[in-house]
Amino acid sequence: MTSKSHVPRFVLLAICLLSGCQQQMAKQPKYLPLEPSTFFADGRSARPLVPGTVARGHLQADKHLLTGGRSLTAESVRAATIIGAGSKDAYTALAVGLAGRQYVDTFPFPVTRQVLERGQQRFTIYCAVCHGDLGHGDGIVVRRGFTTPPTYHSDRLRAAPVGYFYDVITHGFGSMPDLAEQIPSRDRWAIIAYLRALQLSQFARLDDLPEAEKAAALKKLESNHADGR
């Protein structure tokens, strides 16, 4: 009697036949990665990208958004003088070697409350450790010995154009490393919008407040005066 555990002969035959089958594509000519080629003049099998090729989603056509730069104008001369080039003549000489480093003083998109909240979040993550929560340059790592950054509330930086801050975040400055890899372009602008809000908060005038908040502030001042404070 034949045992039921024995595999039928036709099954074994089918397995043997199938193991010898292959798709014809498996035998076609092909190159492995980085394999040399005698077909192309440069000896490479992997072909370079066509000049001008742009990866999907990476067309960097918006100079304002992606660089914070602008063309040389009287306004950019004024701005560069404020942030430290020294004089118009000194700036003109500097511009020869640093073409494209003139700065815009407008945002590339509307600054909304959502943008400011995003900027506050990103500022807290990436900037406050050095610059402090209010931008005075007294962050936790500075208190532990790291180089003290300048306060955002100096006359120089309050007058600096927003494109200057974008450039510093992107390329770094002094002991500050560049943060281009960590912070996307739109987030850099959001941080700068929040930075402007911080600067305004430290130099706001009473007349700048909405009427309700102005009245509350005046009442508080009167109360403090009455208490002798």
> What is the pLDDT at residue 91?
46
Q: What are phi and psi of 105, to 5 degrees?
A: -125, 25
**Which ranges in the chain are annotated with CATH 1.10.760.10?**
113-205
Please write the tens of the pLDDT for every residue from 119-140: 999 999 999 999 999 999 999 9
Spatial CA neighbour of 208 closest among 216, 199, 200: 200
Spatial CA neighbour of 68 closest among 172, 155, 168, 183: 168
- Whether residue 211 is predicted with pLDDT greater than 80 in this model: the reply is yes
8 A C-beta contact, residue 130 and residue 195: no
Please write the tens of the pLDDT for every residue from 141-181: 999 999 999 999 999 999 999 999 999 999 998 889 999 99
Local confidence band at 206 (pLDDT 50, 70, 90 cut-offs): confident
> What is the pLDDT at residue 7?
57
Please write the tens of the pLDDT for every residue from 3-62: 555 556 766 666 666 666 666 666 778 888 989 999 999 999 998 888 888 888 778 788
Local confidence band at 195 (pLDDT 50, 70, 90 cut-offs): very high
Rounded Cα distance, 14 and 7, in Å: 12
Rounded Cα distance, 187 and 169, in Å: 11
Alpha carbons within 13 angstroms on the beta-carbon side of residue 172 total: 9
Spatial CA neighbour of 70 closest among 93, 91, 97, 101: 101
8 A C-beta contact, residue 63 and residue 102: no
Query: Topology of 113-205 in CATH?
Result: Cytochrome Bc1 Complex; Chain D, domain 2 (1.10.760)
8 A C-beta contact, residue 102 and residue 80: yes
The whole-angstrom distance between residue 29's C-alpha and the CA centroid of its chain comes to 45
Rounded Cα distance, 44 and 31, in Å: 10
